[in-house]
Amino acid sequence: MRAAESSANGEKPLLTAVDLSFTYIGQTQPTLKAANLTLQAGELIVIAGATGSGKSTLLNCLTGIAPEYTGGQLTGEVFYRQCEITSWSIRQRSQFMGILLQNVEVQLFTDRVWDEIVFGLENWNLPPGEMQTLTQTALHQFDLVAQQNWAIRQLSAGQKQRLLLACLLTRQQSVLLLDEPFAYLDTAGVDRLLALLKHCRDRGQAILVIEHRLELLQPICDRAYRIQSGEIAPWHWPRSLATAMPPPPAPARRLATHTAATNQLLQTQNLSWGGYPAFPDLQAGAGAVILLKGPNGCGKTTLLRLLSGLLKPTTGLIKILGQDTRRQSVVQIAQTVGFVLQNPNHQLFAESVWAEVKQPGVAANQANTLLEQLNLSPCLEQHPQALSQGQKRRLALAAVLSRQPRICLLDEIMVGQDAASLALMLQALKTFTQQGGALIFTSHDPGVAEILQPQIVAIGGSQL
């Protein structure tokens, strides 16, 4: 971590928060408690902390999303260049402040990739020629030239993340607030974003990043804060990040997946769909752990949707427990296959955390065990949509595992987890496979693969 130059030369902070506290509607205690921080021009600050500790709430308060959009009670003050902006609207703050939210889908407003980048520039009333140049530059920077005329719904989550970052960085606001910007990015996307953040910082932009994969940002970070139970304090990075993290579960015992056909839980043959290259054949027996690996947009999510029955293959065969699934409904397949989606908001429907897991046919002790294993017991009476994104992903996992599927499909659900929460998720998955379940998942986090020790299957012709 380099020293904060702006502190040494006496420059005034670009952004300052003074005693910020925020309480959501329906809550009796504040989620954020008397937070104080400063952000200088030309520095990058990291906000660390456990899932659900109040990090995203802090960003929402700085941008005005809380309370203008969320409702709730805000106290304290926010200053930009020594001018108090606490009463300013989101629109007023957006003139100098850009934010990337965790949920990639809530910040997309148009139908096509090119239009999405141009949309923001049009709102700044830039000349058409300048908009064309900036848009082309952004597409090249984030490797979206080939997708510039695509409908946004065709993009993968990682590609949507890159599109949002392209929109944000094109506008060159003086303050950037980024909530888990690396979440869905493949290795090339991570490297590209790190280089761009360093460039933005070096040209004088102030950057505040929430991130759990701290090792990514340590080389370019100037200062760090840590939030714990809503309270923020300066944080000094440990010499080794490994010493700051709880020990992970022991690596999962790797079980053979190419067993006799009678023992197979899942088999695929010659699968294809849409314009994707043919998918590799899969075989998964009891205890199998398979990682689908490949760059953003290669078809990993599409393959999981095919396995779950949400899509039907153009060609090829899927057998689950020896039965051809091509004529089975999604409901029939779901009796055996559980699927946790990338966006947890798409599969949380109950009125409380407890009701989400204690579904009809699920024993109370089974629901309690999973909620305890995934550290969700303190949230039993909360509405699922009141949870943080990381907590929502753990809840979606608990809801799927509670139905005791034979096969579990996970689509990038390990993002947004602090080290302790990630360890709990991996332990729950290890238990699932040890009890004979088959796990097929996607993840760009090398630490997850190191612990689960999966069979790696390359998708879309990617090189392992």
Phi, psi (degrees; rounded to nearest 5) at 135: -65, -45
Which of 229-243, 267-281, 288-302, 337-351 has the lowest average pLDDT?
A: 229-243
Which of 236-240, 250-254, 272-276 has the lowest average pLDDT?
A: 250-254
Residue 418 has pLDDT above 50, yes or no: yes
Looking at residue 460, its pLDDT comes to 81
Q: Which residue has the higher pLDDT, 256 or 216?
A: 216
Q: Grade residue 236 by pLDDT with cuts at 50, 70 and 90.
A: confident
Whole-angstrom CA distances from 117 to 46, 87, 102, 267 are: 27, 29, 19, 42
Looking at residue 125, its pLDDT comes to 87
Read off the pLDDT of residues 23-75 as tens digits, 9 standing for 90 and up. Answer: 999 889 999 999 999 999 999 999 999 999 999 999 999 999 999 999 999 99
Beta bridge partners of 48: 226
DSSP code for 173: -
CATH 3.40.50.300 residue ranges of the chain are 5-243, 261-458
Assigned superfamily of 5-243: P-loop containing nucleotide triphosphate hydrolases (3.40.50.300)
Which of 9-18, 307-316, 359-368 has the lowest average pLDDT?
A: 9-18
Closest of 203, 216, 156 to residue 176, by C-alpha: 203
Looking at residue 10, its pLDDT comes to 63
CB 189 within 8 A of CB 197: no
Mean pLDDT calculated for residue range 186-207: 95
Q: Burial code of 446-459, b = ≥16 C-beta within 10 A, e = fewer?
A: ebbbebbbbbebeb
What percent of the chain shows pLDDT beyond 70? 92
Looking at residue 3, its pLDDT comes to 38
3-state secondary structure the chain: CCCCHHHHCCCCCCEEEEEEEEECCCCCCCCEEEEEEEECCCCEEEEEECCCCCHHHHHHHHHCHHHHCCCCEEEEEEEECCEECCCCCHHHHCCCEEEECCCHHHHCCCCEHHHHHHHHHHHCCCCHHHHHHHHHHHHHHCCCHHHCCCEHHHCCHHHHHHHHHHHHHHHCCCEEEEECCCCCCCHHHHHHHHHHHHHHHHCCCEEEEECCCHHHHHHHCCEEEEEECCEEEECCCCCCHHHHCCCCCCCCCCCCCCCCHHHEEEEEEEEECCCCCCCCCCEEECCCEEEEECCCCCCHHHHHHHHHCCCCCCEEEEEECCEECCCCCHHHHCCCEEEECCCHHHCCCCCCHHHHHCCCCCCHHHHHHHHHHCCCHHHCCCCHHHCCHHHHHHHHHHHHHHCCCCEEEEECCCCCCCHHHHHHHHHHHHHHHHCCCEEEEECCCHHHHHHHCCEEEECCCCCC
Residue 5 has pLDDT above 60, yes or no: no
Residue 159 has pLDDT above 90, yes or no: yes
Residue 243 has pLDDT above 80, yes or no: no
Residue 322 has pLDDT above 70, yes or no: yes
Instruction: Provide the phi-psi class of 201: left if phi over 0, else alpha when psi is between -120 and 50, else beta.
Output: alpha
Mean pLDDT calculated for residue range 125-151: 95
CB 379 within 8 A of CB 352: no
Q: Grade residue 240 by pLDDT with cuts at 50, 70 and 90.
A: low
Looking at residue 308, its pLDDT comes to 97
Mean pLDDT calculated for residue range 359-374: 96
Domain at 261-458: CATH code: 3.40.50.300
N- to C-terminal Cα separation, the chain: 31
Regarding pTM above 0.85, the answer is yes
Looking at residue 283, its pLDDT comes to 97
Residue 260 has pLDDT above 90, yes or no: no
